[in-house]
Amino acid sequence: MDPMFATALVLGVAGSAHCIGMCGPIALAVPSSGTGTGARLRSTLLLNGGRLTTYLLLGMAIGTFGHGLRLAGLQQVISVVAGVLLLLSVLLPGLLRRFSPAGRLSMGLSHLRSLLARNLKRTAPEALFFTGLLNGLLPCGLLYAALLGASSHASAMDGALFMLFFGLGTWPALIALRLGGGLVRDGARTWLRRASPVLVSVVAILMILRGLELGIPYLSPGPVMAASATMECP
């Protein structure tokens, strides 16, 4: 398995503290059709399933873009640049947020949040899933970091798989938050907050290594190895 997929999974787990802060209020506000644990679990799975679907679609789009970059001979450069940007986001917190489209697309985001607020009152399964779809579109620095990681892949499938592993990594904390009534131990949150920049740095270094094509199997395959892999996997 591509080590970047495993890194995406761990990035999602390590970024759970951020997800609790960003997506936790939505997870807690989502209504259930019943009061039991089973009803809360079903609503949570529908919500996170919708969010994961959005991540998959974004990953496919980014992977397709990465394929075009490979055909143009630019993917290695973009991989290095994206890795450097990720490292800068760790060294200079708020960098990704500063360049996010939030300010430029405020009207669209306002409409998105309005849709989200209205949909939160509904308990139908399709409404819960749709809430998750909208949740996945909200501005999020960790999501931007994952999308930069997905951009290092050269196919829609690989981009989607990267985002799949990332999304699944965020599930345990959000499911526990929902089922536990919003209770997540402070120690766990502290550990996750400390681990997140480390994992983002690991993803950044892997992207830089991949772009440099140093001839290291799996981590930084050389141009010949990359070409062979492309020919074997049409």
pLDDT digits (tens, 9 = 90+) for 36-45: 778 888 989 9
Query: Using an 8 Å Cβ cutoff, are 7 and 199 in contact?
Result: yes
pTM: 0.80
pLDDT-wise least confident of 83-92, 109-118, 169-178, 224-233: 224-233
Quickly state the pLDDT bin for 181 (edges 50, 70, 90).
low
Q: Which residue has the higher pLDDT, 17 or 119?
A: 119
Query: Among all chains, which residue has been given the structure tokens 């996945």?
Result: 136
Q: Which residue has the higher pLDDT, 177 or 185?
A: 177
Quickly state the pLDDT bin for 160 (edges 50, 70, 90).
very high
Average pLDDT, whole number, for the chain?
Answer: 79
pLDDT at 106 over 70: no
**What is the model's pLDDT at position 228?**
45
pLDDT at 97 over 80: no
Q: Which residues is 216 bridged to in the sheet?
A: 220
Share of the chain above pLDDT 70, in %: 80
Contact residues for 25 (Cβ-Cβ < 8 A; gap 6+): none
Q: What are the distances in angstroms from CA 221 to CA 16, 206, 214, 228?
A: 31, 11, 6, 10
